[in-house]
Amino acid sequence: MTNSRQLAFIALRDVHKGAYADIALDRVLQKVNLADSDRRLLTELVYGSVRRQRTLDTLIDQLAKKKSHQQPQDLRTILHLGFYQLRYQERIPPSAAVNTTVQLAKENGFSGLTGFVNGLLRQYLRKAGEAGGARGAGEAWEARGESSPLSPSSSSSLHTDPLQLPENPVERLGILHSFPDWIIQVWLEQLGLVETEQLCEWMNQSPTIDLRINPLRTSIEEVEAALQSAAILVRQIPHLPQALRLIGSAGSIQKLPGFKEGWWTVQDSSAQLVSHLLDPQPGELVIDACAAPGGKTTHIAELMADKGKIWACDRTPSRLRKLQQNSGRLNLQSIQTYTGDSRHFNQFQNTADRVLLDAPCSGLGTMHRHADARWRQTPESVRELSVLQKELLTHTSTFVKPGGVLVYATCTLHPAENEEVISAFLAGSPDWQIESQSGVELPTSAHSTPQGWFQVWPHRQDMDGFFMVRLRKTNDSE
């Protein structure tokens, strides 16, 4: 049986054994030749079930006699697929969702439990009122422009949702939107309840794909025209001169017009902002301290008109090879790679006009792209990353010439990896200061804080979450 649901079950079984969701999905996709619609359904079921794991487990906990963690793992996976379709898949009729899930149980070793599976899913539908009445209950209200079950005004809608939510706002948001409590807590402290919920909703959407056109090879108008002639809808992004956003499904990226010719590369709008803040100039020496897989490195080369030298450093040779492939496709000559840990390099001291430290981070700003990231990171992993970030910043700052610039950036939304890292660095580095936009026209609606750093909040700017700050080394630091 090679239908989308069976393939989703196989991929999810791998994920529950520890595989990354994207790798497990890719492994399955490579073995079969699916129609585009089946491929989309498979992708949606895998990423959706992983993303919504906490909500789906809570439904099992509330509706079954045995809690989700007491169910056999494969059966739990099958129930996830069933509940995910009933709750979040508008286009799948409830009867089809129930019947195909019962079939999955039958064909994967649970023939004796088909009655249980059928009964549990139908119990959900009964509690929802009309079959499908709870469809997307947590988020269907949002789609209709109504307030969600967290809002006091919507208490009358609550009886239509079989999912029972606790009063505590952290657990309530965590269960409804499927995030660990600690992430909700971090966001609540920064944003408050209303915006935290908006951010959760944004993170549960399917991600968009942004392109960055290569101005050394083409123009944004030429790429736009080529894509539109291939029936690919795109739109320009205000204030970002090289950015195009794909609208709707585009199929395989490598098959789009201009890919082989090096006209563009895939890069989210937020990531494009970072290189603009660095503002590299032709002829300069620039070091990208954590460069792979190279999106920002190649952008720096484009902004420098490919004139000057860029050292792209990374400790993972395989990821640097991807950078070299991408750089070759874009026909860029100014990039040289250097393998190793930037914390241990001494040969670059006082050599660079500009340094980019796009630090390894928890990625809490890009969780919509990485379905399982929310379950892999922990408060402990954030603390460890914060130590690494401080070490990297302290050492790579020595690469910068007096009067030069360093940009520190992360794709996370955790103060321990952002504001606290910068504050600790500045407290111990009197020869460094934050340089807000002076002299740099940053093409963004990103929120510049009074302290001078930039924070991109996805639900406000509709792009990946990012933190970035531009630091300048004073001339008298030698």
The pLDDT tens digits for 237-260 are: 988 999 999 997 777 888 899 999
Output the domain CATH number for residue 368.
Answer: 3.40.50.150
Output the domain CATH number for residue 218.
Answer: 3.30.70.1170
Which residue type sits at 228? Q
- Residues 172, 158 within the same domain: no
- Predicted pLDDT of residue 263: 97
* Residue 413 covered by a domain: yes
Alpha-carbon distance 74 to 195, whole Å? 36
Per-residue pLDDT at 436 exceeds 90: no
Q: Which residue numbers are catalytic?
A: 411
**pLDDT bucket at 445, cuts 50 / 70 / 90:** low
* Residue 149 covered by a domain: no
For the segment 24-41, the average pLDDT, to the nearest whole number, is 91
- Residues 470, 396 within the same domain: yes
Per-residue pLDDT at 463 exceeds 70: yes
Of 238, 266, 294, which marks where a domain is finished?
Answer: 266
- Residues 289, 433 within the same domain: yes
* Residue 430 covered by a domain: yes
* Residue 443 covered by a domain: yes
**pLDDT bucket at 450, cuts 50 / 70 / 90:** low
Per-residue pLDDT at 83 exceeds 50: yes
Per-residue pLDDT at 43 exceeds 80: yes
**pLDDT bucket at 476, cuts 50 / 70 / 90:** low
Q: Of 75, 77, 57, which Cα lies nearest the Cα of 67?
A: 57
Alpha-carbon distance 171 to 230, whole Å? 46
- Predicted pLDDT of residue 149: 42
170, 331 Cβ separation under 8 angstroms: no
- Residues 278, 258 within the same domain: no
* Residue 159 covered by a domain: yes
* Residue 135 covered by a domain: yes
Alpha-carbon distance 295 to 375, whole Å? 26
Structure confidence by residue, pLDDT tens digits, 389-425: 999 999 999 999 999 999 999 999 999 999 999 999 9
* Residue 114 covered by a domain: yes
- Predicted pLDDT of residue 129: 79
Per-residue pLDDT at 156 exceeds 60: no
Per-residue pLDDT at 308 exceeds 50: yes
- Residues 276, 293 within the same domain: yes
Query: What is the SS3 string spanning the chain?
Result: CCCHHHHHHHHHHHHHCCCCHHHHHHHHHHHCCCCHHHHHHHHHHHHHHHHCHHHHHHHHHHHCCCCHHHCCHHHHHHHHHHHHHHHHCCCCCHHHHHHHHHHHHHHCCCHHHHHHHHHHHHHHHHHCCCCCCCCCHHHHHHHCCCCCCCCHHHHHHHHHCCCCCCCCHHHHHHHHHCCCHHHHHHHHHHHCHHHHHHHHHHHCCCCCEEEEECCCCCCHHHHHHHHHHCCCEEEECCCCCCEEEEECCCCCHHHCCCCCCCCEEECCHHHHHHHHHHCCCCCCEEEECCCCCCHHHHHHHHHCCCCCEEEEEECCHHHHHHHHHHHHHCCCCCEEEEECCHHHCCCCCCCEEEEEEECCCCCCCCCCCCCCHHHHCCHHHHHHHHHHHHHHHHHHHHHEEEEEEEEEEECCCCHHHCHHHHHHHHHCCCCEEECCCCCCCCCCCCEECCCCCEEECHHHHCCCCEEEEEEEECHHHC
- Residues 353, 453 within the same domain: yes
- Residues 221, 323 within the same domain: no
- Residues 58, 177 within the same domain: no
Q: How far is CA 31 from CA 74, 251, 253, 357, in A?
A: 21, 18, 19, 39
- Predicted pLDDT of residue 249: 75
For the segment 436-462, the average pLDDT, to the nearest whole number, is 73
Judged by average pLDDT, the poorest of 171-185, 275-289, 447-461 is: 447-461
Number of domains in the chain: 4
Of 225, 243, 266, which marks where a domain is finished?
Answer: 266
For the segment 358-372, the average pLDDT, to the nearest whole number, is 95
- Residues 289, 160 within the same domain: no
- Residues 232, 172 within the same domain: no
Structure confidence by residue, pLDDT tens digits, 187-205: 999 999 999 999 999 999 9
**pLDDT bucket at 478, cuts 50 / 70 / 90:** very low
Q: What is the domain range of residue 193? A: 167-204
- Residues 229, 171 within the same domain: no
For the segment 359-365, the average pLDDT, to the nearest whole number, is 96
Output the domain CATH number for residue 98.
Answer: 1.10.940.10
Structure confidence by residue, pLDDT tens digits, 44-79: 999 999 999 999 999 999 999 999 999 999 999 999
- Residues 236, 299 within the same domain: no
